[in-house]
Chains A and B, each alone.
Chain A
Amino acid sequence: MTPADDKKALHIQITQPASKQSHFSLDINLQLPSTGVTALFGPSGSGKTTILRHIAGLEVSNSSHIRLDDTIWQNSQTSLPPHKRPIGFVFQDANLFEHLTAEGNLRFAMKRAKKDQSVISYHDVIRLMDIDSILAQYPAQLSGGERQRVAIARALLIQPKLLLMDEPLAALDETLKQDILPYLEKLCRRANIPIIYVSHSLDEVIRLADHMVVLDKGRVVEEGDIHTLLGKLGTSFSRYQDASVVVVGTVTRHSPEWGLSWLTIGNQAIAFKQGNEALGEPVRLRIQSRDVSITLDKQDGSSILNRLTAVVDDIERDPKDPSQTMVRLMIDNTAILAKITAFSAHQLALQKGQSVIVQIKSVAVLS
């Protein structure tokens, strides 16, 4: 990071030694980007929620340093109380005020918002979260998904400089999750403030985040841009059951006749099911490693549409399951993972730098 960048970012250094009450200790030092969505990802007990609570000031440790841009929130001398930090916080279980209607909850935030910062207007947030019809209802009358949407709207209406989200979907069942994810995606794509999103679901992280911090037992395991991180071998994800990569690009072609669209990588293109994206609009595709196979020559007469030329970049045998091998392939500058059997890798005699054909059986559009 250059010194100029250095000022415009969230610096978090938290040390919390293990105590008599708990074995858990936290020792992290992070510089998070001042734009986009950063995911804190890890299993439960990895400390991701604790980090978020430290950033919000809901938990305090004297030996921590937390700074946004050039304002110190926490160091050994000062500790800004939570109500003085310019944050919005979305809790796992919404935490709406039960004595106020949905609208009353939003007004609570608006009344206390700093007037000098404008992130979103009341009308925009209501449209974004689609809560116009439920404003008059009390939290007890709302479904879990509706409550969470109101909670997100409330956190935005405080006009924060930083939005913290603590597993906002974890308390919802799978159907509700799928209902609310599109709202989160819209929010994450449009927000003009940095968002820190805590989750233990790789699926959510892939759909929402730009940047990612992987935590385990209170330590940072990996950190980086989500596309690079997901495309790397030897990371915790490449051994993950659903190891996948995210390909980002713009829509370059439509075929209404076949209901397909194309995204260009270098001088090749990946076809996917046509959605609402217009030409030139950004699109994120998720490609799972188990849907990618490798051949040495282009087989015409295959039903698989996406057959692209790629270069083998790295090969790693799965240490946990020796029958499997993960191969990283580069299509231009985009990494794709292929999970093939170790036997196939041997039969094909795959070498680093070798040019092969990848066949992608299915592609999922994320947003």
Chain B
Amino acid sequence: MHLTSEDIDAIWLTLKLASLVTFLLIIISTPLAWWLARTQSWLKGPINAIVAMPLVLPPTVLGFYLLLFLSPQGAIGSIMSNMGLPPLPFSFTGLVIASMLYSLPFVVQPIQNAFLAIGKGPLEAAATLRSSPLNRFFYVAIPLARPGYISAAILGFAHTVGEFGVVLMIGGNIASETRVISIQIYDHVEALEYGQAHTLSLLMVAFAFIVLAFLYGVQKHQKSKAVSGGLL
């Protein structure tokens, strides 16, 4: 069992992609999850549905529409090319955007459920302790939602590592740019390099096991439904 430099490149690229996507998703999901957890607006249902759609849609569908929108002829792509920006399909940036959409529910939902689990009690208590709305968000809501953040980060990262269909559609297969582990395994199999495919595949299996075992470990420790966000 050994890894070629291309394999190492793919692993490195995957980790870079998953870290960046997780980081950005946590930032974006925090206000979104907070809003979804508190709002009485009629928009709550539709927005919830949009966030959850990547859970049921085939990744190829998501990738296909992203390709259409982001290509230089597409709605967003044409605006970007008019502004002189490079096209997003088949680039690392495009892959980050696609992965964020694809992994969105895995990050939003655990955080949203953690916010819901807090209830209004601690926040009302903070309000009577001279804590302003923003202050109680940062000093009460976010710390209390920590188990939700842990599982959101784990699930968002792991799910991004495991994606294939979306990458293939929007990212293609460019070394050090869009060729992540799952694509590299596909390439090895196509080239009948089963030994190489085995090495990477076993790594992925071990990774998935460790991540999930850790997640359930945290969940048992915290005794909280909020940890997995109801996804597992």
Interface residues of A, Cβ cutoff 8 Å to B = 56-58, 81-85, 87-89, 91, 93, 95-100, 108-109, 112-114, 154-155, 158, 164
Distance, CA A87 to CA B127, complexed state (A): 10
Could you tell me if A89 and B125 are in contact, using CB atoms closer than 8 angstroms?
yes
Residue of B nearest to A110 (CB): B129
Distance, CA A304 to CA B135, complexed state (A): 62
With A97-B140, A99-B143, A99-B144 known to touch, is A88 a contact of B122 (CB < 8 Å)? no
Could you tell me if A56 and B128 are in contact, using CB atoms closer than 8 angstroms?
yes
Partner among A57, A82, A97 whose Cβ is within 8 Å of the Cβ of B144: A97
Q: 13 A–B contact pairs at CB < 8 A?
A: A82-B127, A83-B135, A89-B124, A91-B121, A91-B124, A95-B125, A96-B125, A99-B143, A99-B144, A99-B146, A100-B143, A113-B130, A164-B128
Instruction: Return the 6 tightest CB-CB contacts between A and B, nearest first.
Output: A89-B128, A95-B125, A82-B127, A112-B130, A95-B121, A99-B143
A154 partner residues in chain B, CB cutoff 8 A: 129
Could you tell me if B130 and A83 are in contact, using CB atoms closer than 8 angstroms?
yes
Number of interface residues of B (CB under 8 A): 19
Partner among B128, B135, B143 whose Cβ is within 8 Å of the Cβ of A82: B128
Distance, CA A113 to CA B129, complexed state (A): 8
Could you tell me if B144 and A81 are in contact, using CB atoms closer than 8 angstroms?
no
Please tell me if B132 contacts chain A, counting CB pairs below 8 Å: yes
Main secondary structure of the interface of B (DSSP, over half): helix
Please tell me if B139 contacts chain A, counting CB pairs below 8 Å: yes
With A99-B143, A108-B139 known to touch, is A155 a contact of B121 (CB < 8 Å)? no
With A98-B144, A99-B144 known to touch, is A91 a contact of B127 (CB < 8 Å)? no
Interface residues of B, Cβ cutoff 8 Å to A = 121-122, 124-133, 135-136, 139-140, 143-144, 146
With A97-B144, A99-B144, A108-B139 known to touch, is A58 a contact of B129 (CB < 8 Å)? no
B140 partner residues in chain A, CB cutoff 8 A: 97
B122 partner residues in chain A, CB cutoff 8 A: 95-98
